[in-house]
Chain A
């Protein structure tokens, strides 16, 4: 069955495509930040070199570290990778897109997060606990917000399946819906928080009592750290792709599309991804980091926006149809 083989190849290609470009997204953001701070900054390919370097180094484990500490990075990486591969990016209707809908996607990200927060506590250090506890506090607000955003869009589209959601949105006339605007703001806030970006967390900091994500991975080194870094790159790409898929899916190729449609799909996706990475860089240099306990207000805002979005969407059903 050539169709099956074709879709299988397409799914595999998407999986490796996401994996391949993810570090570059981080690289672009870092480059933009550096340029705006009037530094030259490392090449956008530096994250690849970092990963290669880390993978080849010995892993140094704390005396107390257990099998869980050693296996968690691979599981975190796998959960994030599978989640990232499930978001339709280039084209919709890929072979395994059906396996998890948007609710499952949020839960897969949650699984990766829970494993990381647990692994942080394994070595029995103060910093691991700090990071883990703050991460779960942030997640306790960010996860429901992202779920509500997902449900808002899913409800508008009448399905929780991401490819169908994207198809539905492409078919919609271009207009601004209040509920979508609110959901968009909420998802952007969640994406900043989940990826440990400013103003929630500072990805460039170490040795600082305000850190969250870096505190959790402090005891990791070598290949294990590489896995966690790679998962971090993937997660950033995943969230940008999710925002693109849910709010700006225009240009995405239908699965049975022509070569031209695929070219447009790839081109527009890469352009949007690049734009988002640049925007993130600009955002990060133009704002200061918040105190940890202000984060709850920031994320509470996201939760409120998401809740208003779903409420509007639910109650305005009569008006729309």
Chain B
């Protein structure tokens, strides 16, 4: 019964389940809406199995369906790259669906449940599309369904603003992708990706396609300076949708970039790497500087997504640079870093967003300064969130460090570049990535410390409750994935080898078979760089447990409780704790003056006065002001000028038409 190519059929079934669930959700009564998540989880599981099988079987399956544009139809293709990203998407969907099953249905449900499977299905379909029309259709479906989910709470003005910015950016992005595919198709207009692969473009057209793809897919992925919608829209959506948008949809955008740049566009030029490296390094550090200041738990996570996308971009940029300089092993390692980081980020970012959702549900707030002490009332969520926070800070032996390590190995190969610019840029990139690693740790120590540790800063936080079982299960499974991904990072990298050979031209730059243990992650060769997470984890675990056991056995394990010392002046009010804003003050003093001209004004009453003191912090977001608000205002001003055209007399309209005709005739006469 199961023949060759069953994987693609299984994916079609999964897509059908997603579509069916979306349709059924429109008609189901509210109390039955949980079925949508059951169906989505089933579809995602089926798809994960099919994609794993397709990936390891190294199959390339094609299908041509007679729907879509007349004469073109719909080309479908499942290859290693789409299977890998499909795995990312469907594992994410599986986890958010388990989480979603634990959500209480309320008035909003009817606006969320029909769109959720549509969104999941659209992301899956984008990965399978093998022609420009199908790709853009599903891409737009993905954008619109997620947009509708963002504005599900449309009575909230912030949600509306987020939705508006997202809609504008998404439309602009799709437009840019349309140009990219137009350039790839060329004059002959072959929509199918196969035709595009075969065609040869002039350098100018390739450059334009690259630029358009960077704008189109980059804005979806959230690379700076096209990130503006992300910190607005991702937090506005329901938490499990936020997790999908941040953890998974950004990866679909990364997939689009890899598909266009590494696959369709042909042999890379060395300078193609420049925008990737520059934008990636800027995003990695820039976004974190916003994240360490932010007061909103979910917005902070959205900023951190921009940072991680920056790291993925840096990896892709290095891969392009090495590939074009004909150094395949280093290209393989850089591409592996990018792909593994995409996988890792989808896990820990989903975990963190789902955890934030649990916190939001338990306390009704996502303001850091109103939370605190949740480790007492939400022990499971806290423990899992801690793992996610440590993983995203790239700390060993968790998964975030694997990709970070690979990326540094790639950076270290930088001096072999023939171009001086790249030689110069690689240590700069190394410095920026190192800075980002330090800032990420600060950002997530601050977030975990203020939300989960300490004492509750508001009554809501003091009376919080643990999330339902389904939600802690989803978060816990993701935490498990973060741990396993860290310990088995070497195997993941090794499994990626076929993809690396195909897209970077590297054969076995990453090896696990020759190392001291089967889990060792080896870059280049064993004598050069090696990292073995299980051994380190084993040593840390053994030494901490034996130390603890020895002390408990031979010394004492007695513990007493008594009021906190706090230098002799403990204060019962939780307001005397450090808050999130005070936590970030040193960082603001160090970095903030330059980056967002943070100014602090202190209004201190004179001694003896009973007046309240005031402390204000002002930020300015230069990117938002100069790249978004000012052009928008300019556009507005221009369109107001042209508004005149709506109020002319009939004679003037006739003159306008006539003069247009004359101009067109002159143009035709001159150029044809």
Query: Which residue numbers of A lie inside 8 Å of B, CB to CB?
Result: 55-64, 66, 68, 70, 74-75, 77-79, 81-82, 85, 96, 98-101, 103-104, 107-108, 110-111, 113-114, 117-118, 121-130, 132-134, 136-137, 139-145, 147-148, 151, 154-155, 158-161, 164, 206-207, 218-219, 222-223, 226-227, 292-293, 296, 300, 303, 306-307, 310-311, 313-315, 317
Query: Does B437 touch A at the CB level, under 8 Å?
Result: yes
Q: Does B558 contact A (CB under 8 A)?
A: yes
The B contact surface, by secondary structure, is helix
CB-CB nearest in chain B for A134: B586
Task: Tell me if B424 is interfacial: C-beta within 8 Å of chain A.
Answer: yes
Is B190 an interface residue, CB under 8 A from the partner? Answer: no
**A99 with B535: in contact, given A136-B442, A148-B434 (CB under 8 Å)?**
yes
Partner of A124, one of B405, B455, B529: B455
Q: What residues of chain B lie closer than 8 Å to A206, measured between beta carbons?
A: 567
Give A134 to B444 CA distance when docked, in angstroms: 14
Most chain A CB neighbours (cut-off 10 Å) among B543, B570, B584, B589: B543
Note all chain B residues with C-beta closer than 8 A to A82. Answer: 536, 539-540, 543
Given contacts A136-B442, A292-B586, A314-B423, contact A107 B401 (CB under 8 A): yes
CB pair A296–B590 under 8 Å, yes or no, is yes
Q: Answer whether residue B188 sits at the interface, using C-beta atoms and an 8 A cutoff.
A: no
| In-complex Cβ contact of B454 among A100, A121, A133, A142 (8 A) | A121
Secondary structure type dominating chain A contacts: helix
Contacts of B449 in A (CB 8 A): 117-118, 121, 129, 132
- Residues of B in contact with A (beta carbons under 8 Å apart): 372-373, 375-376, 386, 390, 393-396, 401, 404-405, 408-409, 411-412, 414-415, 423-424, 426-428, 430-431, 434-435, 437-439, 441-442, 444-446, 448-450, 453-455, 516, 520, 527-532, 535-536, 539-541, 543-545, 547-548, 551, 555-568, 570-571, 574, 576-579, 582-587, 589-590
Contacts of A314 in B (CB 8 A): 414-415, 423-424, 426-427
With both chains docked as a complex, state the minimum distance between the C-beta of B603 and any C-beta of chain A, in angstroms.
Answer: 21
Whether B558 lies near A59 (C-beta < 8 A) is yes
Check A126–B441 contact: CB distance below 8 A: no
By the criterion CB–CB under 8 Å, are A315 and B561 in contact? no
Among A103, A307, A313, the most chain B Cβ lie within 10 Å of the Cβ of A103
A244 to chain B, nearest CB (A): 22
Report Cα–Cα, A164/B525, bound state, in Å: 13
* Set A68, A75, A101, A218: member contacting B565, Cβ < 8 A: A218
**Contacts A/B (CB < 8 Å), 7 sampled:** A99-B536, A114-B393, A124-B453, A144-B435, A160-B528, A227-B551, A315-B423
B409-A160 in contact (CB<8A): yes
A124–B564 CB distance below 8 A: yes
Determine how close the nearest CB of chain A comes to the CB of B549; give it in whole angstroms: 10
Query: Which residues of chain A are within 8 angstroms of B390 by Cβ–Cβ distance?
Result: 111, 114
How many whole Å from B2's CB to the nearest CB in chain A? 42
| Residues B571 and A126 in contact, CB atoms below 8 Å apart | yes
Closest to A55 in B: B555
Which 5 pairs from chain A and chain B are nearest by CB?
A129-B578, A144-B434, A78-B544, A124-B454, A121-B449
Q: Assuming A77-B543, A137-B590, A147-B408, what are 5 further A-B pairs, CB within 8 angstroms?
A: A62-B562, A82-B540, A107-B396, A219-B565, A314-B426
Report how far A114 CA is from B426 CA in the complex, Å.
Answer: 27
Distance in Å from the Cβ of B136 to the closest Cβ of chain A? 41
B442 touches A98 (CB 8 A): no
Could you say which residues of chain B place their CB within 8 Å of the CB of A108? 396, 536
